[in-house]
Structure 1
Amino acid sequence: MAKNTTKINALKLKVFCSNYNPRLLPARICIIKSQEQLRKFRILRIHDCGNLNILEASLKTLEITCYPIYAPSIVPILKKSGTLLQRLKLYSFSTREMSLLPETLKSFCPNITYLNLTNVEFSTQFFELIGNLQKLQFLNLLDIYEILGDEPKILAMMFAKLLPVTLQYLDLRRSCIRSYIDILFNNCYAPLKYLLIYRLKGEKGAKALIEFCIRRKTLNYVGVSIDLDDNIKKDVEKYVTLIPWPVLEILCSHVLMRTSLLI
């Protein structure tokens, strides 16, 4: 391929594990470098993050699913990609030296439109990152089990106010910020169209959601659990469509796919 096929404009590698067959790694790198028209280099699953630093690629889309993710090996790729990087997904139950990532992304990758992170700490670095991503449209935050600090309500309010005015999709299903969903709605000015929250936190959360819908007039769908209280559901559906979160997740994946075709 490196010699005879040099006009590839899209390449997907579903498995990229150098420990499984290390002899294939140089060949894959050679193929990638040989492509004159390769606009989107997309790695869907990487199982060995320890060898990522040997990849010298500028990426528009980077998706890593690994246990654990070793942040120092990703930093060089993020710096190399810089303003070109638009979609980033880092899914792992453990990320070593995670604090390196927010600062790197804030400094080098301001054009991210899709961000999917796990095990993020609600820290000053993270808030600065969100505030710096002024083109962010899709935000997924998974496995945030606690908000550190003495004032979690204040941190939840700060997070809501920092959400960029470009944000359309927010997924908080597996995030502890759901416990402060009323604070999020009351302080959010992002023009959200799609929201996945799983539960509404009773009448208090429902009231805040209704007030957000009236104030912003942008929210189209909210993905919730199918066992939502019927009375709450009836009140909220006067202002926004409630659908089971798995259905909304599929719908939004199609929206994201169409968006990626424009990159």
Structure 2
Amino acid sequence: MQFISRLQHLFLSRVAFSNIESATTLLRTLAKYSTKIKDLKLRGFDAYKSYEPQLFHALFHAIIQIIKSQEQLMLINLDGINNDSRFHGIISALECQKNSLQEAIIKGCDWSAEFEILKNCKNLDTFRIRSCGTKLLKSLICKISILDIDEYRDVSTTNQILEMSGLMLKRLKLALKIEVDEEASILELEALKSFCPNITYLNLHNIELSTQLIEVIGNLQKLQFLTLHLFWDNIDEIKEELEARVISFAEILPLTLQYLKFCGSLQLNSCIDIFLNHCNAPLKTLSIHSLRDEKTVKALIEFCKRYRTLNYVGLYYFYLNDNIRKKVEKYVRLESYEYFDVDC
């Protein structure tokens, strides 16, 4: 019991139990003796709904009691807990944690009116939402410090959150739809530029290296971590236009920037040398696609010599010629790009 009483992180999944009765017994014990849990993750408990209603409701009641018995629950993580939008009071139970809850991670959950209770949580300023549809996000429009959402959203809701959060928003991760709506993308960037200048971490997926994006980044004078998964599909535009865009991007990066993960199409990856030759930010970590040509290797070495701040380079394509590796590693450490990932 001493071990249970000291628990601070609890991950409950249906695969951990052979049957619903043993699951309920353990949960009741936890509710009785464990009061120090800070982080609670629940995954896949809706799989038990095929059992008799009495057993199923006893299980959820035990989970509710765990939530209510904690002194200061700070993080709730719901991973595919229910796909029919009935949470049997689990979300509503968070009302008793409204003064302590700081972060909500929600994945694979349908909207439920129970989620409205999160608006009452005074210190809840971090949302990470995955594969939940747009309706759930609409119910969470409030001031946010950290926002991490995937492509299942609508632009108007995102813009309302950005406007409401304003100066408070510090870290933002957005995955745009693969089939990009250019007008919608521009509206989100305009909202970001207008309302959120204090961002220190920005991660954008499936976005064009547009003039609007460059303007937004130039406006973020406190930016420290930047991850961009870019594309360039303007096949009618000449190579000089792309190179000019890359130069503008390189020159506008704020001097506060320490980490840059920069990848894109073949056209963009071929311009890394141009980027390095014009970048003034004193980067400490840089992730790019590859070092397979002499012009990129030369530009990287010159960048290292020029600023002497770069410590690490992450590569998507890590198969290197031995001569290139030896030449570059005199100045900077090379690793696979996953080694240096910084999440939101």
- RMSD of equivalent CA atoms: 2.1
1:104 counterpart letter in structure 2: A
- Given candidates 138, 152, 172, the residue that maps to 1:53 is 138
> Do the aligned residues in 2 keep the contact of 1:2 with 1:34 (CA within 8 Å)?
no
Question: What is the 5 A alignment of 1:95-110?
Answer: 95-96=180-181, 97-110=184-197
- Given candidates 308, 319, 334, the residue that maps to 1:217 is 308
Aligned pair in 2 of structure 1 residues 89, 147: CA closer, same or farther (>3 Å)? farther
1:240 counterpart letter in structure 2: V
- Tell me what 1:8 maps to: 100
Cα distance between partner residues in 2 of 1:193 and 1:66: 30
Cα distance between partner residues in 2 of 1:42 and 1:51: 12
1:120 counterpart letter in structure 2: I
> Do the aligned residues in 2 keep the contact of 1:147 with 1:177 (CA within 8 Å)?
no
2:275 is equivalent to residue 191 of structure 1 = no
- Tell me what 2:261 maps to: 171
Query: Structure 2: which 5+ runs fail to align?
Result: 1-92
What secondary structure does 1:215 align onto?
Answer: helix
Aligned pair in 2 of structure 1 residues 140, 233: CA closer, same or farther (>3 Å)? same
> Do the aligned residues in 1 keep the contact of 2:290 with 2:318 (CA within 8 Å)?
no
Aligned pair in 2 of structure 1 residues 182, 146: CA closer, same or farther (>3 Å)? farther
TM-score of the pair, normalised by structure 2: 0.66
1:148-187 Cα shifts (integer Å, max 9, x gaps) = 7441111111110011111111111345532101111110
Aligned pair in 2 of structure 1 residues 135, 77: CA closer, same or farther (>3 Å)? same
2:314 is equivalent to residue 227 of structure 1 = no
Moved more, 139-148 or 122-131: 139-148
- Given candidates 244, 265, 277, the residue that maps to 1:154 is 244
- Tell me what 2:291 maps to: 200
What secondary structure does 2:281 align onto?
Answer: coil
> Do the aligned residues in 1 keep the contact of 2:209 with 2:230 (CA within 8 Å)?
no
- Given candidates 191, 197, 214, the residue that maps to 1:127 is 214
Structure scoring higher RCO (CA < 8 A, sep ≥ 6) equals: 1
- Given candidates 72, 84, 105, the residue that maps to 2:168 is 84
Aligned pair in 2 of structure 1 residues 105, 3: CA closer, same or farther (>3 Å)? closer
Aligned pair in 2 of structure 1 residues 5, 243: CA closer, same or farther (>3 Å)? closer
Aligned residues between the structures: 244
What secondary structure does 2:194 align onto?
Answer: helix
Cα distance between partner residues in 2 of 1:137 and 1:146: 28
What secondary structure does 1:98 align onto?
Answer: helix
1:169 counterpart letter in structure 2: Y
> Do the aligned residues in 2 keep the contact of 1:179 with 1:201 (CA within 8 Å)?
no
What secondary structure does 1:214 align onto?
Answer: helix
Aligned pair in 2 of structure 1 residues 132, 47: CA closer, same or farther (>3 Å)? same
Aligned pair in 2 of structure 1 residues 111, 46: CA closer, same or farther (>3 Å)? farther
What secondary structure does 2:226 align onto?
Answer: strand
Cα distance between partner residues in 2 of 1:50 and 1:201: 46
Aligned pair in 2 of structure 1 residues 3, 132: CA closer, same or farther (>3 Å)? closer
- Tell me what 1:260 maps to: none
- Tell me what 2:115 maps to: 28
Cα distance between partner residues in 2 of 1:194 and 1:145: 24
